Amino acid sequence: MALWAGTITYFSSLTGPEIQQIGLTYWDKAQHFSAFAAGGVVLALALRWSVTWPWKRLVLFAVVALMIFGAIDEIHQLFTPNRSGADPLDWLADCFGALVGVALFVVIYARFFRADRPASAGA
């Protein structure tokens, strides 16, 4: 999770020209959504492995934590040269991405790692 957060912070620290130089020029809402969807999967997995919370608490915590991180990231970009920060649409893309990433993790986990799943025919 620290690697994901560090990567987000690194890219948020790049100036506008540095972003263009490395080729991150596609629609920034898609970048925000994708990055936070990945973060949703990573955080939900980390929480599932480290706490014994019920699913509702885990999902709520993960989504709210990523929403807060996204807001802090937008504020951080206000202080980065040649970047626009505090964009509510960027933050909404972060929030939606986090929600989709956490939901995707829950669906995959429930599908493949349920303890009450019937045994396969070959087992």
Q: Is residue 1 part of a domain?
A: no
Q: Is residue 36 part of a domain?
A: yes
Q: Is residue 6 part of a domain?
A: no
Q: Is residue 66 part of a domain?
A: yes
Q: Is residue 49 part of a domain?
A: yes
Q: Is residue 34 part of a domain?
A: yes
Domain that holds residue 38: 30-112
Q: What CA–CA distances, in Å, run from 42 to 14, 36, 49, 111?
A: 23, 9, 11, 17
How much is the pLDDT for 76? 87
**Where is pLDDT greater, at 82 or 104?**
104
Q: Is residue 123 part of a domain?
A: no
Q: Domain count of the chain?
A: 1
Q: Is residue 25 part of a domain?
A: no
Task: Judge contact between 6 and 65, C-beta under 8 A.
Answer: no
pTM of the prediction? 0.81
